[in-house]
Amino acid sequence: MKKVLTLGLLLACTSLKAMLWKVGPTQTYTFCSQVAPLVQPGDTVDIDAATYVNDPQVIWSVNDLLIRGVGGRPRLEAGSIIANDMVNGKGIFVISGHNVTVDNIEFANCTVQDHNGAGIRQEGRNLHVIRCKFDGNEMGILAGNIANCTTLVEYSEFVNGGSPANPGYQHNIYINHIDTFIFRYNYSHNSIAQGHELKSRATNTIILYNRLANETSDDSRTIDVPNGGRLLVMGNVIEQGPNSANSNLLGYGLEGLSNTAPHAVYAVNNTFVNKKSTGSFIHVQAGTDTLLVKNNLFAGAKTGGLFIGTPAVLDSATNLINDTLSAFGFVNAASYDYHLTAASPALNIGSNITQYALGMQLKPVMMYKDTCNTETRPVAGTIDIGAFERAFPAGVLPEPGDAVVMVYPNPCSDQLMLRGKEGEVYGIFGSDGRCVRQGKITSEPVGTSTLAPGLYWIRMGGRACMFVKQ
């Protein structure tokens, strides 16, 4: 009897082995909606590169899924089925399962009855979006109020988010009340109908090495963090175009400081550009605890003042400020290239910041690279002001999909899978720069149960990737 029971358990475990599902014009399943009811926790869904039009709303309700485009980037175009769904219309993907990764997929043209049609509607904990594009949706990503949740978005593009039918309420990306939102290496631009390029109500919002830009559309402010909390903005290009409906680039706490304190803003080594003839740069709610603004470049008009609001502590050393864009020595401001020329006054005048915020030293280690990519930031001597260092590295991170360091699940708990060149040496570093583990990439997971919760970097040569240990 004991042997029979053991065999039965073995068969049961075997039946739970993760599966690979394939979606494509030549596959058994031609739409994601056909696969979503069949998947089990831990499965992978591969979507062949093609254009998929007018699939019904797809609800992914199980945990630990990897949903990815293969052979190129598939484009999922919403149509009349989702637009006319009077009961359930939310978006192209509704992700209610936990610990889901979405990789290399384009979401386009989603509209619904309440004007909140999303490329991805997040309802489950711990979503990781990488190498995706969100084009012309009312919302690119819309995350609900989710406890104990970290959302990570990287290497992705957001464009033309918003709804002319409901101006000011739809955005390229809108994160509601979650614990932590991390946004890095992305390009969010040209939100329409007075939308924001990024809006976050998260308790902790971390914005690293992105290009956030209104170039030609009628957006609102570029970054809006309306309920306070802790905000880290480092190494970004943040631009307001001439048609923006708002007067400042970054707003903080302007709907009330209802998030958990402390209410602190850390803005370090960003390039802020205002191409309107009026405006201000940073507007914080009265009662904000800390506004630390260092090593930033503020280019353009500040008729309303550089900063608006009265934080309890204001630390604004070593910024470079001028109303005239030509004064900064940009490579080509008219073409949105804000790298520094050899004649720039921003070279070698920054301060060495030893402070930490949200587990990271306030010193940039990367730079944004078009489009939706990054490269290391080499600092020889004194750091430059702004998002870019003049001394460019010889080795640049390859395009996503080649030899990019990629990890999942992210956030992780007990183990982490690394995707990169097999056999290559990697190092895991804590936020203090100390190496806590080394090894070589294999097909086996890396154990992380002994790591303390927090933010970590995985580095291989000149490439790097951040992950969160819960």
Averaged pLDDT of the chain: 90
Q: What is the pLDDT of residue 398?
A: 36
pLDDT tens digits, 65-89: 999 999 999 999 999 999 999 888 9
DSSP character for 262? P
Residue 420 scores a pLDDT above 80: no
pLDDT band at 418 (very low <50, low <70, confident <90, very high): confident
* Domains and their CATH numbers in the chain: 17-143 (no CATH), 177-402 (no CATH), 406-469 (2.60.40)
Residue 464: per-residue pLDDT: 67
Q: Express each pLDDT in 282-329 by its tens digit.
A: 999 999 999 999 999 999 999 999 999 999 999 999 999 999 999 999
**Mean pLDDT across the stretch 208-225?**
97
**Beta pairing, strands 118-122 & 75-77:** unpaired
Q: Is the pLDDT of residue 280 over 60?
A: yes
Residue 204 φ then ψ, to 5°: -125, 120
Note whether 132 and 103 are within 8 A (CB): yes
470 closest CA partner among 6, 99, 13: 99
Average pLDDT score over residue span 236-260? 97
- Whether pLDDT at 431 is above 70: no
Cβ atoms 194, 170 nearer than 8 A: no
- pLDDT over 60 at 397, yes or no: no
Range name among 137-141, 189-193, 288-292, 435-439 with the lowest pLDDT average: 435-439
Tell me, what amino acid is at 70? V
